[in-house]
Chain A
């Protein structure tokens, strides 16, 4: 699946987006965050406090317990500051 990163999550990881292939045992958004946090120093820094990170699955906000299902795109970012 495609992973997108925004704001300081993007800066800490050092990438805008990438294709990720988590193992089949990763079923939820929260499990994916934990798995990503073990993919390197930047990832560890980005996901050091998972509670502050928001996620969207195919353009819809989701909670950590949401199943990944057949989603094609997941995005991780801090709370929004638009307007």
Chain B
């Protein structure tokens, strides 16, 4: 079956555990849930708040495009992406990515791929407001974030299903 896709762009706080429960409640088929929560760092105590601007409409569209790319690469079940905008205080969550799968490999890979492309392709911009008055400014795009996204662009093979040896067979294969 194809799993759920949930994409939300919101100002409100979210609770990662509550959001992820929606993916796993009542499911007995899943073997993996991978979650990543991006937090607002205080930058060594100097940050007052982080302002996140976004392009309404396109932000959702672009995240859905990244989700579609992810599904082409890995047989994940569910994909959940929540990205906040507005004023964010240090310690608060900014972004949540959660993936479920029958096996951990596709769930780990999909979550990392989603995060790498959210950083470089989703239309959000961060502005730092520092505690020292009148100081701060727009965060510059980082080379390492571009590199992280680019590493996925090398030609890739569609994921191959690992050979699963039933437990009974494994036991039989062991020397007595």
Contacts and interface: CB of A to CB of B under 8 A. Distances in A.
B141 interface: yes
B126 interface: yes
Given A7-B138, A8-B138, A80 B57 contact: no
B interface residue count range (under 10 / 10 to 19 / 20 to 34 / 35 or more): 20 to 34
B55 A82 contact: no
Nearest to B117: A83
A82 B123 contact: yes
A82 B57 contact: no
A6 interface: yes
Contacts of A81: 119, 124-126, 138-142
Interface residues of A, number: 16
A6 to B, nearest CB: 6
Nearest to A83: B119
B91 interface: no
Contacts of B120: 79-80
A82 B141 contact: no
Contacts of A61: 121
Interface string B30-43: 00000000100000
A25 B119 CA distance: 36
Nearest to B59: A82
B107 interface: no
Contacts of B38: 83
Interface of A: 4, 6-8, 10, 56, 59, 61, 75, 77-83
Interface of B: 38, 52-55, 57-58, 61-62, 83, 94-95, 115, 118-127, 138-142, 145
